[in-house]
């Protein structure tokens, strides 16, 4: 009996399993990303407060606005470096200047969101106490601004930074036709005299 070879050569069925990421692994990777993002933001906040108070007590003791501008710039630089090399390290690009400018604009947007929350609370809703201002600016405004910055970092500043590595598709092996092994049966071979007899019949 002729034997048929495997239609796919060199590929074992147990080696063709896909490497699809599970939802649990994606959730763990996203949680790590959020944790790193929060840690970087906390460090930047400490730098902002520390630099501001340092300048107010030394070089800019009579210029609170100037001290705040400098502290925000330094804290933004720290946040950019932390997010570039830690949180979204897989999505950082080579256009460093464009990335830094976009990062700065996103932070300005976050500041505007916090300011808008304070404006609505203080001037439109009439909550003018210091506690209400802190809740509006440093509570609601901070949360909304943080959510905005995180989404903008992922999709605008550090584009192409997946929470997990992309799925690697296993290329399909090129199918081959079944090959019959062994010699051809003698009975299946054509008779060379049959054609001659057909062309030249014997009278």
- Among 101-105, 154-158, 188-192, name the one with the lowest average pLDDT: 188-192
- pLDDT tens profile 148-174: 999 998 888 887 544 444 444 445 545
Residue 165 confidence (pLDDT): 45
Residue 162 confidence (pLDDT): 45
Q: Which residue has the higher pLDDT, 91 or 201?
A: 91
- Among 36-40, 78-82, 121-125, 185-189, name the one with the lowest average pLDDT: 185-189
Average pLDDT over residues 23-38: 86
- pLDDT tens profile 106-153: 999 988 898 898 899 989 999 988 888 888 888 898 899 889 999 998
Q: What is the 3-state secondary structure (H, E, C) of 79-91?
A: HHHHHHHHHCCCC
- pLDDT tens profile 87-101: 888 777 777 888 888
Q: Which residue has the higher pLDDT, 32 or 191?
A: 32
Mean of the per-residue pLDDT values of the chain:
75
> Where do the domains of the chain lie?
25-157
Give the rounded percent of residues in the chain with a pLDDT score beyond 90. 9
What is the pLDDT confidence band of residue 84, given thresholds at 50, 70 and 90?
confident
Which pTM does this prediction carry?
A: 0.60
* pLDDT at 12 > cutoff 50: no
Q: What is the DSSP string of the chain?
A: -PPBPPSSTT--GGG----PPPHHHHHHHHHHHHHHHHHHHHHHHHHHHHHHHHHHHTTTTT-HHHHHHHHHHHHHHHHHHHIIIIITTTT--S-HHHHHHHHHHHHHHHHHHHHHHHHIIIIIS---SHHHHHIIIIIIHHHHHHHHHHHHIIIIIS-S--SSPPP-PPPPPPP----B-SPPPGGGS--HHHHHHHHS---
Residue 106 confidence (pLDDT): 92
Q: What are phi and psi of 53, to 5 degrees?
A: -70, -35
């Amino acid at each position: 009996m002729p034997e048929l070879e495997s239609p796919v050569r060199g590929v074992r069925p147990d080696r063709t399993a896909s490497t699809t990421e599970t939802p649990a692994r994606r959730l763990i990777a996203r949680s790590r990303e959020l944790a790193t993002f929060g840690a970087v933001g906390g460090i930047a906040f400490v730098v902002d407060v520390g630099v501001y108070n340092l300048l107010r007590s030394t070089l800019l003791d009579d210029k609170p606005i100037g001290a705040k501008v400098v502290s925000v710039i330094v804290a933004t630089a720290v946040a950019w470096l932390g997010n570039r090399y830690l949180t979204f390290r897989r999505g950082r690009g080579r256009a460093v200047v464009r990335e830094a400018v976009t990062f700065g604009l996103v932070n300005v947007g976050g500041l505007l969101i916090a300011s808008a929350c304070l404006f609505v609370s203080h001037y439109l809703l009439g909550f003018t106490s210091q506690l209400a201002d802190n809740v509006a600016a440093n509570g609601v405004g901070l949360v909304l601004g943080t959510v905005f910055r995180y989404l903008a970092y992922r999709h605008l500043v550090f584009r192409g930074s997946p929470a997990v590595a992309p799925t690697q598709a296993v290329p399909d092996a090129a199918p081959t036709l079944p090959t019959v092994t062994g010699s051809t049966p003698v009975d299946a071979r054509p008779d060379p005299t049959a054609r001659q007899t057909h062309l030249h019949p014997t009278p």
